Amino acid sequence: MLAYVIRRIAYLVPVLLVLTIVVFTFVELLPGNIIDTLIGTEGNDDPEVRKILEKEYGLDQPIYVRYAKWLYRAVQGDFGNSLVTRRPVALELLSGIPATVYLAIVGISLSMLIAVPLGTIAAVRRNTPVDYTAQVSSLIGISIPEFWFAILCVLFFSLYLGWLPSSGYASPFDDFWGSLKFLILPAAAVGFRQAAYTTRLTRSSMLDEMNKEYVDTARSLGLSERKVIFKYTLRNAMIPTITISGLQLANLLGGTVVLESIFAWPGIGRAIFEAILQRDYPLVQAGVLVLGVIVVIMNLLVDLTYRYLNPRVKLG
Amino acid sequence: MTELEAPKLADLDEGRASAIARRLARYGITLSNAWYELRKSRTASIGLVMLVLLFGACLATPWIATQSPVKQNYRERLQPPSEQHLLGTDRMGRDIYSRLLWGGRRLVAIALLAVAFGLAIGIPYGVLSGYYGGAADTVAMRIVDGLLAFPGLLLYLLIVTLAREWKLEGIYNDLILVFALGFAFMPEVARLSRGSVLAEKQKEYVEASRAVGDGSLSIALRQILPNIISPLIVNATVRLGYVILIVAALSFLGLGTPPPTPDWGSDLSAARDYMETAPLIAAFPGLAICYTVLAFNLFGDGLRDILDPRLAER
What pLDDT is recorded for position A303?
A: 78
Separation of alpha carbons A98 and B234, rounded Å: 38
What pLDDT is recorded for position A181?
A: 77
Res. A142: pLDDT tops 50: yes
Separation of alpha carbons A267 and A106, rounded Å: 14
Q: How many CB pairs under 8 A join A and B?
A: 145
Rounded to 5, what percent of chain A is helix, strand, coil? 80, 0, 20
Residue of A nearest to B254 (CA): A277
Task: Name the residue facing A30 among B151, B152, B165 (closest C-beta).
Answer: B165
Residue of B nearest to A257 (CA): B153
Q: How many CB atoms lie within 10 A of CB A274?
A: 16
Task: Name the residue facing A30 among B143, B162, B298 (closest C-beta).
Answer: B162
The C-alpha of A172 sits at a distance from chain B's nearest C-alpha, in angstroms, of 26
Q: Which of B193, B202, B251, B230 is nearest to B309 (CA)?
A: B230
Which residues of chain B are within 8 Å of residue A154 when distances are taken between CB atoms? Answer: 275
Separation of alpha carbons B116 and B132, rounded Å: 24
Backbone phi and psi for residue A31, each to the nearest 5 degrees, phi listed first: -70, 145
Q: Which of A138, A148, A103, A143 is nearest to A256 (CA)?
A: A103
Which residues of chain A are within 8 Å of residue B145 when distances are taken between CB atoms? Answer: 11, 14-15, 18
The C-alpha of B163 sits at a distance from chain A's nearest C-alpha, in angstroms, of 9
Which residues of chain A are within 8 Å of residue B274 when distances are taken between CB atoms? Answer: none
Contact A159, A153 (CB under 8 A): no
A275 pLDDT tier (thresholds 50, 70, 90)? confident
Rounded to 5, what percent of chain B is helix, strand, coil? 80, 0, 20
Q: How many CB atoms lie within 10 A of CB A100?
A: 24
SS3 A81: strand
Separation of alpha carbons B283 and B275, rounded Å: 9
What pLDDT is recorded for position A316?
A: 42
The C-alpha of A71 sits at a distance from chain B's nearest C-alpha, in angstroms, of 16
Residue of A nearest to B150 (CA): A292
Q: What is the pTM of this model?
A: 0.82
What pLDDT is recorded for position B314?
A: 40
Say what angle helices A281-309 and A89-124 make with each other, to 10 degrees: 40
What pLDDT is recorded for position B85?
A: 67
Type of residue numbered A182: F
Four-point Cα dihedral A213, A219, A225, A229, nearest 10: -30
Q: Do A18 and B301 touch (CB under 8 A)?
A: no
Best mutation target, B42, B50, B139, B142, to test chain A (most A CBs within 10 A): B142
The C-alpha of A253 sits at a distance from chain B's nearest C-alpha, in angstroms, of 8
Which residues of chain A are within 8 Å of residue B151 when distances are taken between CB atoms? Answer: 250-255, 291-292, 294-295
Q: Do A18 and B298 touch (CB under 8 A)?
A: no
Best mutation target, A15, A201, A281, to test chain B (most B CBs within 10 A): A15
Separation of alpha carbons B96 and A78, rounded Å: 49
Residue of B nearest to A250 (CA): B151
The C-alpha of A269 sits at a distance from chain B's nearest C-alpha, in angstroms, of 9
Separation of alpha carbons A171 and A98, rounded Å: 9
Which residues of chain A are within 8 Å of residue B284 when distances are taken between CB atoms? Answer: none
Task: Name the residue facing A296 among B143, B149, B155 (closest C-beta).
Answer: B149
Per-chain mean pLDDT for chain A? 80
Best mutation target, A143, A290, A295, to test chain B (most B CBs within 10 A): A143
Task: Name the residue facing B253 among A140, A261, A279 (closest C-beta).
Answer: A261
Q: Do A257 and B290 touch (CB under 8 A)?
A: no
Separation of alpha carbons B41 and B47, rounded Å: 10
The C-alpha of B198 sits at a distance from chain A's nearest C-alpha, in angstroms, of 14
What pLDDT is recorded for position A222?
A: 77
ipTM over 0.85: no
> For A199-254, how does the pLDDT look when each residue is reduced to its tens digit (9 = 90+)?
888 888 888 777 777 877 877 887 777 777 777 788 777 877 877 787 778 777 76
- Residue A220: C-alpha distances to residues A229, A235, A291 (Å): 14, 19, 50
Backbone phi and psi for residue B153, each to the nearest 5 degrees, phi listed first: -85, -5
Q: Over range A121-141, report the average pLDDT.
A: 85
Q: Do B146 and A15 touch (CB under 8 A)?
A: yes
Separation of alpha carbons A245 and A255, rounded Å: 14
Res. A50: pLDDT tops 90: no
Task: Name the residue facing A26 among B162, B298, B313 (closest C-beta).
Answer: B162
Q: Do B152 and A18 touch (CB under 8 A)?
A: no
Which residues of chain B are within 8 Å of residue A18 when distances are taken between CB atoms? Answer: 142-143, 145-147, 149
> For A154-213, how does the pLDDT look when each residue is reduced to its tens digit (9 = 90+)?
888 877 777 877 777 777 777 777 777 788 888 888 888 888 888 888 888 888 777 777
A255 pLDDT tier (thresholds 50, 70, 90)? low
Separation of alpha carbons A169 and A263, rounded Å: 8
Contact A277, A300 (CB under 8 A): no
What pLDDT is recorded for position B116?
A: 93
User: Mind listing the pLDDT tens digit of every residue in chain B (314 residues)?
Assistant: 445 555 555 565 667 777 788 888 877 777 777 777 777 777 888 888 888 898 888 887 778 767 777 667 667 666 777 767 666 777 766 777 778 888 888 889 999 999 999 999 998 888 888 888 888 888 888 888 888 877 778 888 888 888 877 777 777 878 888 888 898 888 888 888 888 888 777 777 777 777 777 777 777 667 777 777 878 888 888 889 889 988 888 888 888 777 777 888 888 887 777 777 777 777 888 889 999 999 998 888 888 877 765 544 44
Distance of CA B38 to the CA centre of its chain: 19
Of A110-114, A219-223, A257-261, B257-261, the range with the highest mean pLDDT is: A110-114
Q: Any residues with CB less than 8 A from the CB of B227 and at least 6 apart, and which?
A: B196, B200
What is the distance between the terminal CA atoms of chain A, rounded to a whole angstrom? Answer: 11
